[in-house]
Amino acid sequence: MRKPPALIALLGVFASLAALVPLGYLLFRLGAGADAALTELLRPRTLELLLNTTLLVVSVTATALVIGFLQAWLTTRTNLGFGAVFAVLSTLPLAIPSYVLAFSFTASFPWFSGFWASWLVMSLATSPYVFLAVSAALVRTDSSSEEVARTLGLSKWQVLVRVTWPQVRPAAAAASLLVALYTLSEFGAVAILRFDTFTRAIYNAYRLSFDRTAAAALAVVLVLLTLLVIWFERRYRGDYQVTRPASQKRVRILLGKTKPLAALGLLLVAFAGVGVPLYSLANWSIIGSSTADVSEIFEALVGSVTLAAVAGVVITVFAVAIALWVVRYPTGLGRMVDYSVWANHALPAIVVALALVFLGANLTPWLYQTTALLVLAYLILFLPNALGTMATPIAQVPKSLEDVANSLGVKGNRSIFKVVLPIAAPGILAGAALVSLTVLKELPATLLLRPTGTETLALRLWMATEELAFSQAAPYALLLVILGGLPALALNTQARKALSEVGN
Amino acid sequence: MFKPLAALTALVAALTLTGCASAEQEANPLPTESVEQKDSLVLYSGRSEDLIQPLIDMFTAETGIKVEVRYAGSAELAAQILEEGENSPADVFLSQDAGALGAVAKATLFEFVPTETLAKVDRIYSDLEGYWVGVSGRARILTYDPAKVTELPTSVFDLAEPKWKGRIAIAPTNASFQAFVTAMRVLEGNEVTSLWLSAMKENAVIFEKNGAILDAVDAGQVDAGLINHYYWHAKAKEVGAENMKAQLSAFAPGDLGNLVNVAGAGIVNDNSASRAFMDFLLSTSAQTYFAEQTAEYPLIPGISIIPGLTPLSEVKSPDIDLSNLDTLGETLELIRAAGLL
């Protein structure tokens, strides 16, 4: 067993300690009112919330998995055509905050609410996670084993299930974990669509009764649920399949008669996930009379881009370190770091933010309401997003290549920089883009922790919708979508390039 | 910023007054000349930037005091102040509703508002203990679609009748709705309130916010809804009053459905700047601004309200502390028990 380099260990342990802050805060709050907490948990309502939440998480995860996998497979492995267009459309919902998506649906279809509404909106909002991870995995692996399977007489469907699926299973599982935890922690969309989950109850405890003990009690249940989900994912992820970097001729599967059907399916999903919100936004600009100030828009744009870029870089550095630790130097401590980082990923952002308010104002006033503390909050909130996307590409770099590099005179751990990171670079970039996108949309933590005066697009959008000033809100929402679309576009261009290089 | 002197004064005041506990005398902060002098201010504002920033500019032009404002939701800011505790950087907290102010007051993180500032506003619109002062008022009201509601209800209790099934929209998570239910409990008792809430469970369509209710009524999706009056005026400003399908109708004079709630402010860190700002909020210019910009009720005498609004004196408001969290807790219990939350 190799020991991890000091830098990796240092970054990993720091991230782990940071992740423990919200957990420590919750225990502190619970300790302050154990009786009240117990009463809160023993309500029949807690059970109802548990059932609702489980139902939503399971159904959304399954749906996002199916949608995202099919999108990825159709655009990278079949002769569907317009691959680039469909790929961008599949990624784009990522750029739309889920509360905007929910809001645009209720604005267009007033009857839209409850479980099925939440299921649809959350599935649309989260399937890009699966799409990105699975298409990246598909681009990295070559199709020779699939061809072999075909020549051995398996049907297209059998090849898909028995050969292609196992190759992308770890990536799909990691993405599903993100989807599940995203759904657990989502507040805005389920509140607008009026479906009661744990997170909504936690927000209500803060916002209605200002009851921090009850909120903490519910949040701890959420953490336990998270651990269960993570355990489940680790158990059923399957092994990483180390593959040769795709180097051979790639054969696309001919869809035949199902082609129009597949195209129609993708178009429908794109219509719901991108078309409806864009239509709604356009509508906002038309009906309203309020106008957004250009200099305010610019200020918010700069604020958003800066925060997303800084947080993107910081989180990527930590995520690469932890992924390397887990994959290349598997130690017990590394596993613990990995678990602790994931453990609070389902906590609603407001809990993490309040924990840092408590810590910042009372212990480190010099850090309070600074960009540094805000970035720390983003690190706690979104490190798992980066890890989930980067772990697979890093794990898929063949160990033998590193050995070759070592035998050729590259000393020890330098092979990480010379071999592992360059090969895994597309996956790492994908993770970085994903995290920056998520930071771009973030609202509750930004609201509580930003330096006074810092503006972001998401903040402005929220303020405008609170005031019912929809035409003022429209440009902010539109900019968010465009800004989010750019990394999505870049990611896909890169994937396309990789595909064309290996031939068609 | 823990201020021993202010804390000591509060303690002494509390001790001397426990015997002759008249709530009025409890509000007894330091005389103005002996508080810390400051020429800048940190304001936590639960009200929007569009609304508040012009006021701030007016204040700075008038007094030379610079203001740094954090804008966020009132409940979020209250939670933030609770976590910050004694170390809060905020000087003043301006809140959209009384509940958030009550939460901060209960944690004794507010300093007393100076008596002369409190005296500007009718007592029933401020904290009974003097921890915060009401700044502007808003009335509960019925918004309705004239095409579908021809016979207007005169009392909010009419909405419990079966003919309203599926036609009336409410927002049980909204602080103003809860304040209204609290008022109902105090005036009519828990039993009557529970019956009304159960009827609402049958009749009502549930929304998350006042704004969503108004949108739904305006879109013809629901026949009527219970909201705060100024939402209608805000939307009319955005889309034009002539384009509004939804109209407003107050209940009969004296009906509980017309309850008035307040937005208010409290002092987190007592100094000359925070006192000056509190006084400014209750000045003629600021009160006129609220009345004109948001169609809210000014709370100091002598300011005219927008046409068509029922004068405050004709609206029955129960003499209860709407920011009392223990009362709020009981209200939440009832709403929850009715299955509306």
Residue-level pLDDT at A241: 60
Q: List the 268-297 stretch of B: residues with Cβ below 8 A of A.
A: none
Radius of gyration of chain A (CA): 23
Element (H, E) at A82: none
Residue-level pLDDT at A389: 80
CA distances from A159 to A135, A163, A166 (A): 17, 5, 10
CB contact under 8 A, B87 and A208: no
Whether residue B155 contacts residue B211, with contact meaning beta carbons closer than 8 Å, is answered with no
Residue with tokens 């993770």: A431
- CA nearest neighbour of A476 among A289, A309, A281, A190: A281
To the nearest whole Å, the CA of A92 is away from the closest chain B CA by 27
Whether residue A221 contacts residue A199, with contact meaning beta carbons closer than 8 Å, is answered with no
**Interface test mutation site (partner B, options A118, A209, A358, max chain B beta carbons within 10 A):** A209
A260-A262-A267-A273 Cα dihedral, nearest 10 degrees? 170
To the nearest whole Å, the CA of A451 is away from the closest chain B CA by 9
- Could you give the CA distance from residue B11 to residue A251 in angstroms, rounded to a whole number? 81
To the nearest whole Å, the CA of B276 is away from the closest chain A CA by 21
Contacts of B240 in chain A (CB under 8 A): 289
Residue-level pLDDT at A449: 94
Mean pLDDT, consecutive 10-residue stretches, chain A (504 aa), reads 80 92 92 82 85 95 95 84 81 84 81 89 93 81 77 82 84 89 89 86 85 88 88 76 55 76 89 88 73 83 94 94 87 86 87 94 93 96 88 80 78 76 81 87 91 89 76 83 74 59 43
HSE-CB of A297 using CA atoms within 13 angstroms: 13
Q: How many CB pairs under 8 A join A and B?
A: 111
Residue-level pLDDT at A233: 83
Contacts of A461 in chain B (CB under 8 A): none
CB contact under 8 A, B85 and A361: yes
Whether residue B246 contacts residue B66, with contact meaning beta carbons closer than 8 Å, is answered with no
Element (H, E) at A330: none
pTM beyond 0.90: the answer is no
Low-confidence ranges of chain B (pLDDT < 50): 1-27
Query: Which chain A residue shows the shortest CA-CA distance from B230?
Result: A467
Residue-level pLDDT at A251: 64
Query: Which chain B residue shows the shortest CA-CA distance from A290?
Result: B238
Query: Which chain A residue shows the shortest CA-CA distance from B208?
Result: A192
**Interface test mutation site (partner B, options A99, A187, A196, A210, max chain B beta carbons within 10 A):** A210
What sign has the CA pseudo-torsion B315, B319, B322, B323? positive
Q: Does B75 touch chain A (CB under 8 A)?
A: yes
**Interface test mutation site (partner B, options A49, A207, A290, A356, max chain B beta carbons within 10 A):** A207
Q: List the 53-72 stretch of B: residues with Cβ below 8 A of A.
A: 68-72
- Partner residue opposite A194 with nearest CB, options B68, B100, B208: B208
To the nearest whole Å, the CA of B11 is away from the closest chain A CA by 23
Query: Which chain B residue shows the shortest CA-CA distance from A443?
Result: B72
Residue with tokens 């993405």: A175
- Could you give the CA distance from residue B98 to residue B88 in angstroms, rounded to a whole number? 20
- Could you give the CA distance from residue A90 to residue A96 in angstroms, rounded to a whole number? 12
Residue-level pLDDT at B85: 93
- Partner residue opposite B72 with nearest CB, options A447, A453, A470: A447
CB contact under 8 A, B325 and A206: no
Residue-level pLDDT at A237: 73
CB contact under 8 A, B235 and A107: no
- Could you give the CA distance from residue A1 to residue A313 in angstroms, rounded to a whole number? 30
Mean pLDDT score of chain B: 85
CA distances from A392 to A4, A145, A172, A424, A472 (A): 19, 19, 10, 9, 42
Rounded to the nearest 5 degrees, what angle is found at the Cα of A386, between the Cα atoms of A385 and A390? 125
- CA nearest neighbour of A132 among A195, A181, A178: A178
Residue-level pLDDT at B28: 56
To the nearest whole Å, the CA of B10 is away from the closest chain A CA by 22
Residue-level pLDDT at B10: 44
Residue-level pLDDT at B325: 65
**Interface test mutation site (partner B, options A468, A470, A476, max chain B beta carbons within 10 A):** A468
CB contact under 8 A, B68 and A194: no
Residue-level pLDDT at A416: 77
Contacts of B175 in chain A (CB under 8 A): 208
Q: How many other C-beta atoms can be found within 10 angstroms of the C-beta atom of residue A169?
A: 19
Residue-level pLDDT at A499: 53
CB contact under 8 A, A453 and B100: no
The DSSP code for B32 is G
- Partner residue opposite A358 with nearest CB, options B83, B208, B325: B83
Look up residue A260 and give its amino acid: P
Q: List the 199-258 stretch of B: residues with Cβ below 8 A of A.
A: 206-208, 211-212, 214-216, 219, 221, 231, 234-235, 237-240
CB contact under 8 A, B216 and A110: yes
Structure tokens at B12: 């002494």
To the nearest whole Å, the CA of B237 is away from the closest chain A CA by 8
CB contact under 8 A, A369 and B212: no
- Could you give the CA distance from residue B335 to residue B131 in angstroms, rounded to a whole number? 27
For B219-271, the pLDDT digits (tens) are 888 999 999 998 998 888 878 889 999 999 988 877 888 888 899 999 999 99
Contacts of A192 in chain B (CB under 8 A): 208, 212
Residue-level pLDDT at A11: 92
Instruction: Give Cα A498 to chain centroid, integer Å.
Output: 23
Q: Does B32 touch chain A (CB under 8 A)?
A: no
CA distances from A224 to A49, A78, A342, B73, B121 (A): 14, 41, 12, 29, 50
Q: How many other C-beta atoms can be found within 10 angstroms of the C-beta atom of residue A329?
A: 17
